[in-house]
């Protein structure tokens, strides 16, 4: 059987929160209304949020095409993402017992010296539309989590400086103010933690 390889990439992206109207206007402007695809992110951390405290995040992303386990961690520029394909059985072991089977992913997690077990924190579902532009990948997301619905634009680039200029130009073209957006997992975690404190 062919072994599916773990991959790593550095993610450089710019983000801004959108209103529902802005989101729908951009879907219309880029003719993406019929390109929207569903995906779900299930987030994991230890009971004391050790990964989050290191600025890292672990998720399973479920798409129509299958499951991928991703570890995001800080990098000199952007975020370093480590991806490993996941079988249904391996996913179930992570959900139920906090066990990661992929050896390279275990190595990547070992650098955090986690003292507690991994546990499932919850799910964020996204309706995503994306289009490749000359300057970068434009992504429009509608996310649902913990009874919250929000909208955002992401712009993934290979060059940070040129990408920032292109992103700001794109927002200005559509009359959208820049509203700094935290990563989805950060928004999810902050909401989760505020509820557990409340």
pTM for the structure as a whole: 0.82
pLDDT tens-digit series, residues 119-149: 999 999 999 999 999 999 999 999 999 999 9
pLDDT tens-digit series, residues 38-48: 999 999 999 99
How far is CA 50 from each of CA 97, 103, 116, rounded to the nearest angstrom?
Answer: 17, 20, 8
For residue 17, give every residue at least 6 positions away whose Cβ sits within 8 Å of its Cβ, in sequence order, or none. 150, 151, 152, 179, 180, 181
**How much is the average pLDDT of 158-168?**
94
Query: How far apart are the C-alpha atoms of 40 and 64, rounded to whole Å?
Result: 10
Is residue 162 very low, low, confident or very high in pLDDT (cuts 50, 70, 90)? very high
Give the start-end residues of each E strand in the chain.
Answer: 7-18, 37-45, 57-63, 66-74, 79-86, 119-132, 137-145, 148-157
pLDDT tens-digit series, residues 53-80: 999 999 999 988 889 999 999 888 777 8
Domains and CATH numbers, the chain: 7-197 (2.40.320.10)
């Amino acid at each position: 059987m062919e072994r599916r390889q773990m991959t790593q990439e550095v993610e450089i992206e710019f983000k801004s929160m959108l209103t529902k109207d802005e989101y729908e206007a951009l879907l219309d402007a880029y003719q993406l209304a019929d390109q929207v695809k569903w995906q779900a992110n299930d987030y994991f951390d230890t009971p004391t949020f050790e990964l989050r405290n290191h600025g890292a995040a672990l998720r399973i992303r479920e798409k129509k095409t299958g499951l991928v386990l991703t570890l995001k961690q800080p990098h000199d520029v952007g975020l370093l993402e480590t991806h490993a394909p996941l079988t249904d059985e391996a996913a179930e072991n992570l959900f139920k017992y906090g066990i990661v089977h992929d050896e390279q992913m275990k190595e990547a997690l070992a650098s955090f010296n986690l003292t507690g077990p991994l546990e499932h924190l919850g799910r964020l579902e996204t309706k995503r539309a994306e289009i490749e532009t000359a300057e970068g990948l434009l992504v429009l997301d509608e996310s649902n989590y913990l009874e919250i619905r929000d909208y955002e634009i992401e712009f993934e680039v290979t060059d940070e400086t040129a990408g920032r200029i292109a992103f700001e130009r794109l927002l200005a073209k559509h009359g959208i103010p820049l509203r700094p957006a935290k990563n989805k997992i950060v928004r999810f975690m902050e909401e989760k933690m505020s509820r557990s404190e409340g």
